[in-house]
Structure 1
Amino acid sequence: MRLLIADDEMNLAKALRAVLEDEGYNCGVCFDGNSAIRLISQEIYDGLILDIMIPEKNGYEVLNQIRKQKDDIPVLLLSALNEVDDQVTGFDLGANDYLSKPFSTKELIARVKMMLKENTIDESYLQYQDILLDKKEVILAHKNTKYQLTKLECSILSLLVRSESNRVPIWLVIEKVWNNRVDVNQNTVSLYVSYLNRKLSALQSCVSIKMSKENIELCVNI
């Protein structure tokens, strides 16, 4: 897959390119908003990593113009601005995800992989081993048996199935499922994992969810 990195911090942009190319991505780099718009319009990219505070046109302006052109390229916004209003502005303009600086390269890679996978799959039905998740009806099915899920359970299972490794960090679950609510912690995630495991067991599926201190992951019981 081909990515464009738009960030006026040249050393950071080049470092991100090196990290992502080690992960197998083909990356282009530019350092201002006008160049980002031109490259997106002239070439084919599978994703855009866009810093908000870039010259000529800032990241918000770039994103706004891209979406007005009906370009549905997935966009991950990067910014030292970490106020909630800044994030809301980005999402309202059509960003797929938002990452505050400074960040770890592991977190960046995880978010890029998730963003790209979300953009390339059918969101209505997700298949994993012997289970089928119907996101529209919020139903978990195994053969001819079905269980109604809660929206939170569905969101957790969807994250796991969509993840390339079928493993998701707990911090990402809290962010994606609960929007970083202050009253949600690892114990909350553990409780919902137990709910899902009960339903998987009742369906007699070979799938279960294992939880460690850092991650939750799908497992296949043989």
Structure 2
Amino acid sequence: MRLLVADDEVNLAKALQAVLEDAGYNCDVCFDGNSAIRLIFQEIYDGLILDIMMLEKNGYEVLNQICKQKNDILVLLLSALNEVDNKVTGFDFGANDYLSKPFSTKELIARVKVMLKENVIDDSYLQYQDILLNKKEETLACKNTKYQLTKLECSILSLLIRSESNRVAVWLVIEKVWNNCVDVNQNTVSLHISYLNRKLSALQSCVSIKMSKENIELCVNI
């Protein structure tokens, strides 16, 4: 699971990053609202830990922009604003949970686990154009026909469908799918993309996958 921590208290943000990485999560940090928005739509994150009182754009503004663009990232708000109205405002903007400062790291980890567990349940089926990916069964369906995928193929296609732009950097695919294995390179990824394209073609889908040196993206063939 990959998380983004956005908090303008630099020392706190870095401390949270260390705690979350110790708990087994991949974690990036940023220190203002504009950077949070840029990273959310540039990269793929399973969850966002978002401070409300930040520079440039506050947490409410970040959350509002995410929801307007229908990003499905899960959001845990952090704030020293402990009034009920502040919490209600956060939930109205689309937050999944709210944690008041100061808090214990144990409670933070517990809240993150619960939030991400809910996301796994909701993320079993992913649809793009005329294809339906079943992550539990690792199958790809189109026009009443179904193909079995390998675990790697399923992971690659899931990343592409979940990406806001349906485009993912090659390095990120290697990081997320192969856990940065030293034996994996661009040729390895290209081979698995070719396998996926064969199955998409056999399903007579309008979808194909294009790969360059930098990126992999879903394309629609008209």
| Range class of TM-score, shorter chain | 0.5 to 0.7
Q: Specify the code of the residue in structure 2 equivalent to 1:189.
A: V
Q: Which ranges of structure 1 fall in alignment gaps of 5 or more residues? A: 31-35, 49-55, 75-93, 95-117
1:77 alignment partner in structure 2: none
Q: Specify the code of the residue in structure 2 equivalent to 1:20.
A: A
Would you say the 8 A contact 2:30–2:36 is kept in 1?
A: no
Over the aligned positions, Cα root-mean-square deviation in angstroms equals: 4.0
Describe how 1:113-124 pairs up with structure 2 within 5 A.
Answer: 119=119, 122-124=122-124
SS of aligned partner of 1:140: strand
CA offsets 1:63-103 (integer angstroms, 9 cap, x no match): 422234577456xxxxxxxxxxxxxxxxxxx9xxxxxxxxx
TM-score using structure 1 length: 0.59
TM-score using structure 2 length: 0.59
1:66 alignment partner in structure 2: 108
The CA distance in 2 between the partners of 1:186 and 1:23, in whole Å, is: 24
2:35 alignment partner in structure 1: 19
CA offsets 1:145-173 (integer angstroms, 9 cap, x no match): 11100000000000000000000011110
1:126 alignment partner in structure 2: 126
2:160 alignment partner in structure 1: 160
The CA distance in 2 between the partners of 1:156 and 1:144, in whole Å, is: 22
Q: Specify the code of the residue in structure 2 equivalent to 1:157.
A: L
Q: Specify the code of the residue in structure 1 equivalent to 2:108.
A: I
The CA distance in 2 between the partners of 1:135 and 1:188, in whole Å, is: 22
SS of aligned partner of 1:164: coil
Q: Which ranges of structure 2 fall in alignment gaps of 5 or more residues? A: 15-28, 42-49, 55-76
1:68–1:210 CA distance, 2 compared to 1 (3 A): closer
Would you say the 8 A contact 1:37–1:66 is kept in 2?
A: no
SS of aligned partner of 1:184: coil
SS of aligned partner of 1:216: strand
Would you say the 8 A contact 1:17–1:29 is kept in 2?
A: no
1:137–1:121 CA distance, 2 compared to 1 (3 A): closer
Q: Specify the code of the residue in structure 2 equivalent to 1:5.
A: D
Would you say the 8 A contact 2:8–2:31 is kept in 1?
A: no
Q: How far has the Cα of 1:17 moved from its partner?
A: 2.5
Would you say the 8 A contact 1:4–1:29 is kept in 2?
A: no
The CA distance in 1 between the partners of 2:40 and 2:152, in whole Å, is: 33
SS of aligned partner of 1:158: helix
SS of aligned partner of 2:52: strand
1:138 aligns with 2:138: yes
Q: Which moved more, 1:121-130 or 1:138-147?
A: 121-130
CA offsets 1:95-154 (integer angstroms, 9 cap, x no match): xxxxxxxxxxxxxxxxxxxxxxx9498211111111111111110011111110000000
The CA distance in 2 between the partners of 1:17 and 1:182, in whole Å, is: 34
Would you say the 8 A contact 2:6–2:36 is kept in 1?
A: no
Q: Specify the code of the residue in structure 2 equivalent to 1:65.
A: E
Would you say the 8 A contact 2:53–2:79 is kept in 1?
A: no
Would you say the 8 A contact 2:6–2:30 is kept in 1?
A: no
1:23–1:4 CA distance, 2 compared to 1 (3 A): closer
The CA distance in 2 between the partners of 1:8 and 1:20, in whole Å, is: 14
Describe how 1:39-58 pairs up with structure 2 within 5 A.
Answer: 39=80, 43=87, 44=90, 46=95
Would you say the 8 A contact 1:4–1:47 is kept in 2?
A: no
